[in-house]
Chain A
């Protein structure tokens, strides 16, 4: 890894490869309730003069962009703004940087009443030219209706993202990303998971209570004391509230109620309340969480939907695969990188063994062992087998091209029939063609190169 620090106009940069104490732990809030500001800490070796406080004497200063990059292929891990640069000693400077989201906290935006406005247009107005962002295609035609009070730009971003079920991610990109939660499962193989992940329980949430809103424009003269009104762009609006409750179907009847309440998100209305409740249920109704260390060169990042095996393959026991959205990755760097990931489980699938036996009659020619989640529909190609015993060499062909089936709980066994295709007797150099229609030869050594 190395860092790249840009000049103020972002037209030139300098790379710093001698770095230490690199701390990078990006995270997202999968509920959208908050927008998290990612931070980067690094000590870089340089004798360049550095800005300290308000003095302007050097080349590294607050407000400049710093990028964290991968040695391998210049993959961008972070593009942040330097908020502090202090010289530690003659050789090293400590840099503290954070995502540009932090700067959105410094800017206020006025109250707005949105009436079926496209979020695409709303974000175009919200972000300044210097604030790079990207809006996922999934939200291209999404619209919002409701009220936003006077607030910081970051609060506005959070409120809109919450109302459309979007997540804000500020790592692994040059821009602020506004994205949905991942919907494509990424498998983490056994040999990328460190020994040993842990699953723990969180408190049960029995229900989510969400207030939806309707607004009616009301002339000031018609306003009634005791009613709730909001003001935007010089107009007044009567507020009507409706309570919506989504109960946890998995909550047991005899446990104490524990509700999560949202009663001040004015962008929630009758059109989006069900969708947002479902989105929140993905996190809040999950009782299990996973902590695991995985070998991770930014292949698995916050908001990804991942499948993580939690148990080693074992000839005896079944294992489990945890499925969920990554909400944090704390990285450790070497030649490669690993990360401590945390996720709230969406599913915990049993994995079990599948044994495919290659049989000729009652004789077992060989076998292969697989690990699959229960319910998985498998389809595995049967290979040709080439085996030598004593002075005989046999080529066996599979009578079925593929072994197929659905994984059941417990050990699954699938016997696949084979027949002899060729039999080569080494003692007398005779090749018997048993069950094939044609054989091609190469040279006088009679090396078989194809069988039909």
Chain B
């Protein structure tokens, strides 16, 4: 299986991938006066932290990949592992790092770059919601219900304003 594809080219190299899903709120999110937190979610953005293991002898591939990654362009097309399959995302690359080794082996000096690692951050959310979608999919109104607290509405922390009376008591009858 090709591990990942960058701009249409597959790179069949060993890698370690850390996947992060960031559920990104907007500036509209915040603490409300009824002590609830309103979370205005823009969407879910994927972030992949990738560390490659390019085998020795494939320095040419390594260098080609490095030059693609550090191109000063705003985004690339990626196909990356996701769940049991793959996901296509458009993302930007950040923080490309690797290590240069210079070793003496016998009478020879060997040098090579290794351990390239970089982050891919999706430019667009892989999941997002419109106000109507949020109502349909998740069954809750995207806006807080338009209650008129200042002229009488129930606000008890948690749910309904029923007091819990001691059990075993004959309070009820």
Name the one of B149, B150, B167, B173 contacting A392, with C-beta atoms under 8 angstroms. Answer: B173
Cβ–Cβ contact A194 & B32, under 8 A: yes
Contact with B along A180-192 (1 / 0, CB 8 A): 0000000111111
B33 touches A309 (CB 8 A): yes
In the complex, the answer to whether B33 meets A194 with C-beta atoms within 8 Å is yes
Asked if B151 contacts A333 (CB within 8 A), the reply is no
Query: How many residues from A make CB contacts under 8 Å with B?
Result: 54
- Contact (Cβ within 8 A) A189 B42: no
Interface stretch of the complex, out of A141-149, A206-214, A224-232, A372-380: A372-380
**Residue-wise interface mask of B (141-157) relative to A, using a CB-CB cutoff of 8 A (1 in contact, 0 not):** 01111111111111110
Q: B103 within 8 Å of A by Cβ?
A: no
A-B contact count (CB 8 A): 151
Contact A188-B144, Cβ < 8 Å, known A334-B29, A334-B42, A336-B28: no
**B107 beta carbon closer than 8 Å to chain A:** no
Q: Say whether A196 faces chain B, with CB atoms less than 8 Å apart.
A: yes
Partner of B162, one of A366, A380, A389, A390: A366
Bound Cα distance A123, B42 (Å):
45
A195 — which chain B residues lie within 8 A by C-beta? Answer: 30-33, 35
Taking CB atoms, residues of chain B closer than 8 Å to A367 are 161-163
In the complex, are the beta carbons of A191 and B163 less than 8 A apart?
no
| Cβ < 8 Å to A, chain B residues 110-154 | 129-132, 142-154
Asked if B161 and A72 sit within 8 Å, CB to CB, the answer is: no
In chain A, positions 300-318 with a C-beta closer than 8 Å to chain B are 307-309, 311-313
Is A190 within 8 A of B32, CB to CB? yes
Q: Is B36 an interface residue (CB 8 A)?
A: yes
- Asked if A370 and B154 make an inter-chain contact with CB atoms under 8 angstroms apart, the answer reads yes
| Bound Cα distance from A215 to B41, whole angstroms | 63
**What residues on A are CB-neighbors of B25 within 8 Å?**
334
List which A249-303 residues lie within 8 A (CB) of chain B: 293, 295, 297
Question: Is the C-beta of A439 less than 8 angstroms from some C-beta in chain B?
Answer: no
- Are A297 and B152 in touch, CB under 8 angstroms? no
What is the distance, in angstroms, from B9's C-beta to the closest C-beta of chain A? Answer: 25
A420 CA to B171 CA, complexed, in Å: 13
B27 CB–A CB distance under 8 Å: yes
Contact present for A189 and B163 (CB under 8 Å): no
Chain B contact residues, CB within 8 Å of chain A: 25-36, 38, 40-42, 129-132, 142-156, 161-163, 165, 167-168, 171-173
27 A-B pairs in the complex with CB atoms less than 8 angstroms apart? A72-B130, A72-B132, A188-B150, A189-B144, A189-B148, A190-B34, A191-B144, A195-B32, A195-B35, A196-B33, A295-B28, A295-B38, A297-B143, A333-B26, A335-B41, A336-B26, A336-B40, A337-B28, A338-B30, A364-B171, A366-B161, A366-B162, A367-B162, A369-B156, A371-B152, A371-B155, A389-B167
